[in-house]
Amino acid sequence: MNRRFTRRQFVGTVGTAGAACVGAAYGCGEQRPFGPKRLKAHGLSGDLIIVHGDDPKKMAVTAVEALGGIDKLVSAGDIVVIKPNIAWDRLPEQAATTNPAMVAAVVELCLQAGAKQVKVFDRTCNDARRSYDSSGIAKAAEEAGASVSHMLDRKFRTVAIPTGASMKEWPIYEDAASADVLINIPIAKHHSISRLTLGLKNMMGIAGGNRGKWHPEIHQRLADFATVTAVDLTIVDAYRILTNRGPASGTPADVRKEGLLVAGTDPTAVDAYCATIFGLEPHEIGFVKSAHDLGLGEMDLNKIVRNRIELA
């Protein structure tokens, strides 16, 4: 059973911290409801799409088409948020950030489907301006028609996490929580604390507050946070992967070209499969198991329908 909150439920699930003022930076006169968005009703396939190729843009377009087409998810007038990994001041070839061509491809698809606006942002670890520039994502996304912005402290609001096992509330970025469609485009890479960065881990980039407090219970906290992020589509960039010294590295020896993209609407299933790219089983990644235990998706690869596509 999928226990993520729906956008229609978001008013009713807000705790007092979310409904009341969360500090002067948010404006104490502003009492409007805030909370997790709904998962959009869509006609996308429930299959896992695995694309192998040498053209990241074509791979992204192929994957979305194989799921049924972007028009099954994005409607005219929608506000779409695309959340890549822009956390580090690294070049695309260093495999610490999402491939910019994949981000641009999804931006274009959403706009072609009639999206009113496509927003691209991330809460970076290195300097935001340098990270946005070095990754190539800001330039590629803007040229594709997206609105690219740095995240603002005043736009984080605390929401209740009723089913959380490790945390019961946390600040979340307003633009991500209120979007009509939320698309997660992480890069697959090694991580020194969580073992891997995949889709569920990438959503830390819309979390506010001191994220260092998550580290002692990182796996459960990632799963808890996923119950209120309601990602509609996950597209994992495994074109190049970082195999060691993640999440930043920068050393060519740590980068391996896989030429893969993995996409699906079940974030747990996507991450479960991506673990195998690193020679690991899904249960060996703590946040995958925790997400499965919370009812956020399937981790048993024998129960996941996979559609493999080989591009010439």
CA nearest to 84, candidates 58, 51, 123:
123
Structural domain spans, the chain: 46-310
CB 97 within 8 A of CB 197: no
Instruction: Give DSSP secondary structure letters for 200-245.
Output: HHHGGGGB-S-GGGGGGGHHHHHHHHHTTT--SEEEEEEEEEE-SS
Q: How confident is the model at residue 20 (pLDDT cuts 50, 70, 90)?
A: very low
Provide the pLDDT for residue 14.
Answer: 37
Burial class, 32, CB count within 10 angstroms (exposed 0-12 / middle 13-18 / buried 19+): exposed
Picking from 12-21, 55-64, 167-176, 291-300, which range would have the lowest pLDDT averaged per residue?
12-21
Q: CA of 72: how far to CAs of 64, 265, 303, in Å? A: 10, 12, 24
| Cα-to-chain-centroid distance, residue 41 | 18
Provide the pLDDT for residue 12.
Answer: 36
How confident is the model over 26-55, as pLDDT tens digits? 233 333 345 667 788 899 999 999 999 999
Average of per-residue pLDDT across 198-217: 97
- Please determine, for residue 178, whether its predicted confidence score (pLDDT) is greater than 90: yes
Q: How confident is the model at residue 18 (pLDDT cuts 50, 70, 90)?
A: very low
Q: How confident is the model at residue 201 (pLDDT cuts 50, 70, 90)?
A: very high
Provide the pLDDT for residue 97.
Answer: 98
Q: How confident is the model at residue 3 (pLDDT cuts 50, 70, 90)?
A: very low
User: How far is 168 from 15, CA to CA, in rounded Å?
Assistant: 9
Q: How confident is the model at residue 8 (pLDDT cuts 50, 70, 90)?
A: very low
How confident is the model over 119-158, as pLDDT tens digits? 999 999 999 999 999 999 999 999 999 999 999 999 999 9
CATH architecture of the domain with range 46-310: 3-Layer(aba) Sandwich (3.40)
Provide the pLDDT for residue 250.
Answer: 86
pTM: 0.90
Provide the pLDDT for residue 271.
Answer: 98
Provide the pLDDT for residue 160.
Answer: 94
- Please determine, for residue 7, whether its predicted confidence score (pLDDT) is greater than 80: no
CA nearest to 98, candidates 149, 147, 134, 67:
134
DSSP letter at 71 equals: G
Provide the pLDDT for residue 11.
Answer: 31
User: How far is 104 from 142, CA to CA, in rounded Å?
Assistant: 8
Provide the pLDDT for residue 36.
Answer: 64
Q: Which amino acid is at 71?
A: D
Phi, psi for 192 (deg, rounded to 5): -70, -25
CA nearest to 172, candidates 4, 22, 9:
22
Ranges of beta strands (E only) in the chain are 48-52, 79-84, 117-120, 147-148, 156-160, 169-173, 181-185, 187-191, 195-197, 233-242, 255-264, 306-310
Burial class, 308, CB count within 10 angstroms (exposed 0-12 / middle 13-18 / buried 19+): exposed
- Please determine, for residue 294, whether its predicted confidence score (pLDDT) is greater than 70: yes
CB 157 within 8 A of CB 22: yes
How confident is the model over 158-176, as pLDDT tens digits? 999 999 999 999 999 999 9
- Please determine, for residue 297, whether its predicted confidence score (pLDDT) is greater than 70: yes
Strands 79-84 and 181-185: parallel
User: How far is 25 from 155, CA to CA, in rounded Å?
Assistant: 9
**Beta carbons within 8 Å of 15's beta carbon, 6+ residues apart:** 158, 159, 160, 162, 168, 169
How confident is the model over 226-257, as pLDDT tens digits? 999 989 999 999 999 999 999 999 899 999 99
Average of per-residue pLDDT across 51-63: 98
**Contacts made by residues 24-27, CB under 8 angstroms, sequence distance 24+:** 25/153, 25/154, 26/154, 26/157
